[in-house]
Structure 1
């Protein structure tokens, strides 16, 4: 990987097309590490390769901002599909959560809470929680049923209020056994 000064030097010394092609290639290689293909056959190959390397994966649905209820529902549905995929890949189930040597569950899915609400509003966390409660509950219940681990992806401190309100609301509305196990 080139250092910043190397990149700056290359940008000044080399033809723009060559620099552009090199940057394009580097971005493509980086994206291939983090963005998996939609094609099941390609995905199986990628997962098998990571497994051979002794690496665990955390599935993350792309997209963060949703503008409509339909988009938020679609995002929640896509996360649920990822939960099923993660559980199947790791061999986890409701009564058998598979963990790695560090005790971390292998069937992991990362959820961007901001993609579950059309108005993810840090100023009004209760309204945000109210809007996303059903979607988040569906995701958490599915993860529990499949033995998958859900990681909340809330990178910004300003999202802490809606996150806490929504997760507390979901936890308090669940009456089944072992919710937080």
Structure 2
């Protein structure tokens, strides 16, 4: 039994169509790995941006607390000056001892508040340094990703380019793990 020319043409077209579909699937599978890996890199970058936002929020909160402590130190200093003026103006010896004790207590309060304010200033400085380290690590990963992404979008990514993105992601993730252990 022989097939007619029309049947042969139809079979050939169907076979070419199936071959084209198979090639398309192969290409899609070949491009899936780089795309999936880079989507993971992008997800890591997005997570990094969220962490940076939270870190900035923590810094703002700690800065507010530092400013409150600085105001408390100023208020305590004013309180000391008022009590010293009261002691200077008061001529009653019995009250002068009580006022002198109040002045000493107020001076101790100033010292305590100043120590708290200094410690808070150190915490804020430390947070700024952490944020700078975090920003640098995130920038390196985003730079590597921005180099690789155009090639992924064009479908022209090779293993070396893929490795750039994956290495950037793993380096950043390692930085995040180390950073969280601090």
Q: Given the two structures, how large is their TM-score scaled by the length of structure 1?
A: 0.22
Structure that is richer in helix per residue: 2
Which one has more relative contact order, counting CA pairs under 8 Å at least 6 apart? Answer: 2
The structure with more strand, counted as a fraction of residues? 1
Q: Which has the larger radius of gyration?
A: 2
* TM-score, scaled relative to structure 2: 0.22
